[in-house]
Amino acid sequence: MFPVAAGLTLLPQVPAPLALAAGIAWALLLPNPYSKQARSFQTWLLQGSVVGLGAAMNLQQVMRAGSAGLVSTLVGITTTLLLGALLCRLLRVSKGAGLMISVGTAICGGSAIAAVSGVLRAKEEDTSVALGIVFLLNSLALLIFPPLGHALQLNDVQFGQWAALAIHDTSSVVGAALSFGGSALQTATTIKLARALWIIPIALAIGFLESRAQGSSLQSRGKLKFPWFILGFLIAAAVFTYVPQLHSVGAIVAAVARRGLVLTLFLIGANLSRATLKTVGFRPLLLGVLLWIISASSSLAWVRLGM
């Protein structure tokens, strides 16, 4: 039954918010015997769909959008990490969980948390708490950001910028932009992927500082994984930009990728189990919510002012 329900989200008439809601309903009302397989498939499906989106994007526009968001990305990441460190102390959240929540908010959610947990050798419970909080906020963002964007009368570019700066995971960013419509998806995807590249230097810096504090070598700590799907996105954009004969094929590939993203959202919702909800404590959740509200509000102001 679960594969059949997931497959239904590939139908063109199923919108992204409905796919997410169906997944959440499935997770909370019925047991999911395929949760482990769904998580693995979700990762591959998301990455493949993001690469597919590049087939309908102009590489020159992608590079301009990425460079335009460079300043806001640097300011946002630095401010969020500093604010997270302060709130972590005030709320007395454990250092490991607080740092991973801050990094997840500042860069790209679960991917950043996974990278940092490796170099930190974080406790399993701290990693679970951080991932649970980011997962909850991602699901909430998918539901509230598109209607908020319309209510605030944001245009496609503004909403794409806001989503990329204020929503944690790449999957939720592209899902919210897909729900908003228009050209928001191109802007949001480009800026978010550029932001995700900061996983590497930030995780290396954290690992270096932690190894200095603990007296261990950086090489002895966890390994980092380069987000290769970002490179795939750029290659796809380059190929379909500079080979005009492939434009019609690129449109088909991108359309299939967008349906793949809808299925990804269903799988995200289907993994929101009661066990996930139980891992989240009040103080870490408060830290994540406060950071998210401040980040979303400041990035919205930044976008509205056209900075």
User: Domain for residue 174, yes or no?
Assistant: yes
- pLDDT of the residue at 290: 94
Task: Please give the residue range of the domain that contains residue 159.
Answer: 15-304
Q: Is 35 exposed, middle or buried (0-12, 13-18, 19+ CB in 10 A)?
A: middle
- pLDDT of the residue at 150: 94
User: Domain for residue 217, yes or no?
Assistant: yes
User: Domain for residue 9, yes or no?
Assistant: no
Over range 288-307, report the average pLDDT. Answer: 88
User: Domain for residue 38, yes or no?
Assistant: yes
Question: What is the domain count for the chain?
Answer: 1
Q: Are 266 and 17 in contact (CB under 8 A)?
A: no
Q: Are 288 and 133 in contact (CB under 8 A)?
A: yes
User: Domain for residue 8, yes or no?
Assistant: no
Residue, of 29 and 64, whose pLDDT is higher: 29
User: Domain for residue 114, yes or no?
Assistant: yes
Phi/psi at 19 (5° precision):
-65, -45
Lowest mean pLDDT among 68-77, 125-134, 207-216, 259-268: 207-216
- CB-side neighbour CA atoms (13 Å) of 138: 32
What confidence tier does 213 reach under pLDDT thresholds 50, 70, 90?
low
pLDDT of 102 strictly over 80: yes
Over range 214-226, report the average pLDDT. Answer: 55
- pLDDT of the residue at 146: 93
What confidence tier does 158 reach under pLDDT thresholds 50, 70, 90?
very high
Q: Are 126 and 229 in contact (CB under 8 A)?
A: no
d(C-alpha 6, C-alpha 162), whole Å: 29
- pLDDT of the residue at 27: 76
Lowest mean pLDDT among 40-44, 200-204, 214-218: 214-218
Residue, of 17 and 76, whose pLDDT is higher: 76
User: Domain for residue 39, yes or no?
Assistant: yes
What confidence tier does 219 reach under pLDDT thresholds 50, 70, 90?
low
Instruction: Tell me which residue has tokens 């570019």.
Output: 157
Q: Sign of the CA dihedral 96, 39, 149, 274? A: negative
What confidence tier does 154 reach under pLDDT thresholds 50, 70, 90?
very high
What confidence tier does 10 reach under pLDDT thresholds 50, 70, 90?
low
User: Domain for residue 68, yes or no?
Assistant: yes
